[in-house]
Homo-oligomer: A and B are copies of this chain.
Amino acid sequence: MITPRTLKGFRDDLPETMMLREKIIDAVRDVFRSFGFCPIDTPALEYLEILSGKGSEETDKQLYKFTDHGGRQVGLRFDLTVPLARFTAEHIGELGTPFKRYHIAKVWRGENTQSGRYREFMQCDFDTIGTDSIASDIETGLVMYEILRKIVGPDFKIRINNRKVLSGLLEKLGLADKATAMLRCLDKLGKIGREKVAAEMVQFAGATPTQADGVLKLAELTGSNEEILDSLKPMLAGNATGEDGIGKLNTFLSAVAAAGVPNDRIVLDVSIARGLDYYTGTIYETFLDDLPQIGSVCSGGRYDNLAELYTKQKLPGVGASLGLDRLLAALEQLGRLEKSQSPVDVFLPYFVESRLGDYLKLAATLRENGIGVEFYPEPKKLGQQLKYADKKGFRYAIIIGEDEFAQNVCQFKNLKSASAKEVALCDLPNEIKQVDFSARG
């Protein structure tokens, strides 16, 4: 006998988890689609040369790679961005621009499982490719806002910034050639504090104390979106890059306000720098008000050239990635998920063995009326069947014995309150439709 087990770092998704995941994915997809984003999929396996050297040193080490039947070096995708670059280079002629896609799929990384990470997990990305119009940056923010609003409710903040603001300041201070090192230091501001960051900027990035102070002054700006923009203007006056960044942030914030986003939901945060080498314009992070410690649940930004390794065509784009697993864990922690082990609310026990056809006919009628119903397959004792219904979390049971069949009625039982009422079978669909199922999306 073989021990049934999954590999270390892998896990089965049981119905309870899977139903929540499907529900969230459905909601996310609806938002993507309502903005005109299309789904795509790419193979789990790619040529190794497509995948290796495209992420970090770490992702290279974590790559699941092997030689296939035909002697090809292949690997399992470790993210959806590298496949998107390869996909876009291959198909953009046919697809045209702007190309707006979403991709919700599994990726694999041989992570150290001690960190609590899984080696197989789902990513959920959306991008607009082939345009550098700020309108797409704004739309990206609006998509994030809609998704979070629908899934989480009102308690979140999307923080935005524009990399050009910081780049402009570094240019103005004469630190353009030290940008990466400076950003690496600045990235630690939240963790180690101003003084240490300033010291590191001098020690590791080769800045003067005055230059370090200038960069930190900018990163520390706080206040309303308008107040921060007002403070930025004199700091970047005369620098074209910085002024462009401020202009884009200004356009962004006015447009999302015009589109109906409350002022405090998308906020300017000049301290965020994300993706040191990759992002070049707008950048996004999203935090839940009640669980800031779990980190950003949706992040992204604008990049200059998606697929430069595969095509000479310059493909700028903007997009973001939604942390589905993190979001699911957060909603669970916040008690915002109603768990269930059944996709339907109504249970139909099999009570009178000879009436199989009648039970199935009733179930078919309910389904015709849009009411999902689970029929128990064995004519066991009613108590046993109701125990099953209870374990699975059904809300209602339709109980019909020989007497009820003779009179064309049923006992419509609320399993939570244990109350029951007699309902004519012909009225049952309408009776059930009047019941409040609102808590179950």
Interface 1/0s, chain A 356-395, versus B by CB < 8 A?
Answer: 1110110110010000111111100000000010010000
Chain A, range 370-429, C-beta contacts under 8 Å to B: 372-378, 388, 391
Using an 8 Å CB-CB cutoff, how does the interface string of A146-163 with B read, 1 for contact, 0 for none? 100000000000000000
User: A191 an interface residue at 8 Å Cβ cutoff?
Assistant: no
B357 engages A258 (CB within 8 Å): yes
- A248 CB within 8 Å of chain B: no
The residues in A between 82 and 120 inclusive whose CB is less than 8 angstroms from any CB of B are 85-87, 89-91, 94-96, 98, 100-101, 106, 108, 110, 120
Interface flag for A439 (CB, 8 Å)? no
Contacts of A311 in B (CB 8 A): 1, 4
- Is A34 in the interface zone, CB < 8 Å from B? yes
Closest chain-B Cβ to A3's Cβ sits at a distance in Å of 7
Chain B residues contacting A8 (CB-CB under 8 Å) are 70, 72
Given contacts A18-B41, A360-B255, A373-B34, contact A2 B46 (CB under 8 A): no
Asked whether A33 and B360 contact (CB < 8 A) given A43-B10, A44-B106, A135-B377, the answer is: no
Q: Which positions 216-271 of chain A face chain B at CB distance < 8 Å?
A: 251, 254-260
Question: Which of chain B's residues have a CB closer than 8 A to the CB of A343?
Answer: 32-33, 36-39
Given known pairs A372-B35, A378-B135, the reply for A47 and B259 (CB within 8 Å) is no
Q: A357–B259 contact, CB under 8 A?
A: yes
A87, A138, A374 pick with most chain B CB within 10 angstroms: A374
Number of residues of chain A lying within 8 A (CB) of chain B: 107
CA distance A7 to B139 in the complex (A): 34
Assess the A40–B69 pair: CB atoms within 8 A.
no
- Of B1, B13, B45, B106, the residue contacting A40 (CB under 8 A) is B13
Report if A74 contacts B (CB, 8 A): yes
Q: Which among B101, B110, B133, B309 is the interface contact of A1 at CB below 8 angstroms?
A: B309
Contacts of A108 in B (CB 8 A): 44-45
Chain B residue nearest in CB terms to A355: B258
Contacts A7-B72, A43-B10, A74-B7 given; indicate if A35 touches B374 (C-beta within 8 A): yes
Closest to A367 in B: B34
The docked-state distance in angstroms from the alpha carbon of A298 to that of B195 is 67
A406 CB, nearest partner CB in chain B, Å = 17
- Given A37-B343, A44-B108, output 6 extra A-B contacts at Cβ < 8 Å: A4-B50, A7-B45, A13-B42, A36-B372, A39-B343, A43-B120
The 8 closest A-B pairs by CB, nearest first: A36-B374, A258-B357, A66-B66, A15-B38, A10-B43, A33-B343, A135-B377, A13-B41
Interfacial residues, chain A to chain B (CB-CB below 8 A): 1-8, 10-15, 18-19, 22, 29, 32-47, 49-50, 62, 64-70, 72, 74, 76, 85-87, 89-91, 94-96, 98, 100-101, 106, 108, 110, 120, 128, 131, 133, 135-136, 138-139, 142, 146, 251, 254-260, 307, 309-312, 341-344, 350, 356-358, 360-361, 363-364, 367, 372-378, 388, 391
Sample 21 A-B pairs with CB under 8 A, ordered by A number: A2-B49, A4-B90, A4-B311, A7-B74, A8-B70, A12-B40, A15-B101, A33-B343, A34-B367, A34-B372, A36-B372, A37-B343, A38-B342, A65-B66, A96-B391, A135-B356, A142-B364, A255-B360, A257-B357, A258-B357, A258-B358
